[in-house]
Structure 1
Amino acid sequence: MTMLYSQDAELSVIGAAMLENDQVADLAEIVRPDDFYLAQHRTVWGGIINLARDGKPCDLVTLGDHLEANGLMGSVGTLGDLAEIARAVPVASNAIHYADVVADLAQRRQLLGTLPDAEQRIADRGVDTADLITELQGRLESLRRSSRDRLMRAAEYLDHDFITPFDLRYSGQEESMGLSYGLRDLDEATMGMKPGELVVVGGRPSMGKTAFMMNSLRAALGGQAPVLIESLEMKRPALFNRLVAGIGDIPIAALRDPRGHEDRIDEYMARMAYPISQINSADLYINHETPRTISQIRAQAKEIHDRHGRVGLVMIDYLGKVKVEGNHKRHDLGIEEVVAGAKSIAKEFDCPVMLLSQLNRSLEQRPNKRPNMGDLKDSSAIEQEADTILFLYRDEVYHPDNPDNKGLAEIIIGKQREGVTDTVHVVSRLSHARFEDLAPKRYAEELES
């Protein structure tokens, strides 16, 4: 088998960096110390990166002093050995090519390193084959490195990233609105769910997170976009109950116990025809198998993308149920892995990702129980990655005897990267798995049109 390393390429990267210090930043972006096959080369490259990070020049003398001061020269050899490395570069201007070679060979060694464990997993008959394939896909995908693009002036992107999209929206050839939440007032406040965005929906139990997800799903199905639901909290039959109830405006109780609603069951069955036909014609995928990792969710999104050429929306219910892959000593680092992975799915497939999240129990101790950013579990990771954060609040849960809040809910926009924060008041009909716009505003707009 061909040896998966090139001593010449490794020496050339190091030598080029020492000859032309200005190249260190670009080279370090491509190749890491661990990418070098030979231990002495890893040590030398780490020293070069440290000197560059501290703003110090890197030549034979300064690098030798740095390695000596840190007790690392012994793993390299003598100053003469270091001088031989520095003289190894054929043409310093080709350093980027040499770095690409080193990085590529390192990645191939990593792929080769996964084989023994993969072989062991494959031989384990207790693991479901389909789950095994998804798991291995996730592992291999985690080794993929993002491509390095040439740094260009912002003006070179202006037409593609701003002027052309603006012209398309202005001419009506492209919609300004993203995917609808199924709530007119919320859509106006947020411009909907936009491609590449991570939308986090937080709420305490009984606030209607799943009903809110169904609201957005109903709107997405009308747009004929492929949708993936990762239902880690609720099984598929229960989701179908809520989806049919929401689309058909049917009480969930009547779907669970049709014989107990015989006085109106004919009416409800007639209403079921439309939601069933809509689900039948939709590219809707629901996975309710647990536990799932974010890599497995990403693999399913990729399968949908490969099948349909796009992904319209990914919904994950909910954050706390996604299995963490890494061996993290701190819980918040595991949450960060999941949230960052969800954001990566949104960017990779250019679709919105809706991620449901529980809130900290501590808010129950406050007089005002309306949630805020601090109530998100492990909030720092979520605040950093999310583009939009919505909180659901139903005052009637805490004050059931107050007639003024019956059937009302608040959607608190806690964060909006490209918009303002606000509170949208809506009607809550959880018995029908629905949220609706408040009637007065809707009627007023329709009378004006």
Structure 2
Amino acid sequence: MFPDTIKKAEKAKEKKSPYGYDIDLEKFIREEAGEHERINKATEVPKKMRDTLLKVGVDPTEKERAGTFIQLDQTGIYSSQASKAVEIMGLNVALEKYNWLKDYMWKVVAPDTDKYTAHTALRESEGNIGGYFIRSKPNSKEIFPLQACMFIGDERVMQTLHNIIIAEENSELHIITGCATGEDVSSALHLGITEFYIKEGAKVTYTMIHNWAEQVEVRPRTGILVGDNATFINNYILTSPVKSIQSYPTAYCTGKNSRVVFQSILGGRKESILDMGSRVILEGKGASAEIVSRAVSKDKSEIYSRGHLAGRVPEVKGHLECHGLVLSDDSMIYAVPELVGSATDLEMSHEAAVGKIAEEEILYLTSRGLTEEEAASMIVRGFLSMDIKGLPPELAEETKRMLDMSLKGM
């Protein structure tokens, strides 16, 4: 790692994030936990873990998958590759294989963003490297998705990882990533750095499903660089309880006619605190962005739904949409839409609405024979079941199945 990166990280070790409450990192094990033996097949993961993988879209049979990566705590226990159009492996393996890869690290996410990026960078400098490397080759089109899982199985683990995804020119790449926790884990911390490089004419869809335990803290940090005529589509699903999550990925549309879509489905349950958002910086002529989120809060959950569009050059377009349903008096949704225009001849708009289930809808469904609880459940699931854009038909159907599975708890 470059000395300048380490120096920046050292200075930011105590730097609090402007979003989400602060976490005492010393409460979590740093060095000795999280070492596991590697496996030869994905189906060799323990049965309890295998069942959880399926819930987050990761299929241990690897049927119709272009490749797989699984990290358990701090160990990359498995990786495989079925397609010649793509590469997938642990970041530590990739750094040994490709000397040029270091030039992509910490370029879209700064190591001194906050204490969470700083601690991840410092661990990395000590040789404790987690996460994966994914690359689609130039002019390739792989319709089957790559799959990756970040799993926490040990108590009080601080899981750190750094993912690098590179879509080369005119390639198409689909990724399903699932993050989850073992049933016996009552407390843990997940710090995940992800950097995307979407080059000219490339397209990437990235579908993420989270299924954490109730006392897990989650702090992902993501940056996306989108080139000329390139497309990045991000689908995010979280409907299970978690202690807290704070995520605000930022996409930089520097290329002309570059396009970004963020779609989020959030279900706040129990005492979860979800501070979620997406930010797009429109800097290339003809660039466009769409941010769409659906949020439902129940029990004593809190949801902060953020969205930020910044148009910095003429002839860019952006739309921000946030809709929320509050299902209990003890829960809360706080919508924060932001539009910033610093050039002429641009189009940006936003739409935000937070409310409750309409009584007439409940009455209509109960008059058709449903109980009030069944009627409310149907309305909520319909509200959250928005179309997932940008996927091949087969993958879109599978994603809808995963979403339906996630919504059962709501």
TM range (shorter): under 0.3
Structure with greater helix share of residues: 1
Q: Which has the higher contact order (CA 8 A, sep 6+)?
A: 1
Q: Which has a greater percent of strand?
A: 2
Report the TM-score when normalising by structure 1.
0.20
Of structures 1 and 2, the larger Rg is shown by: 1
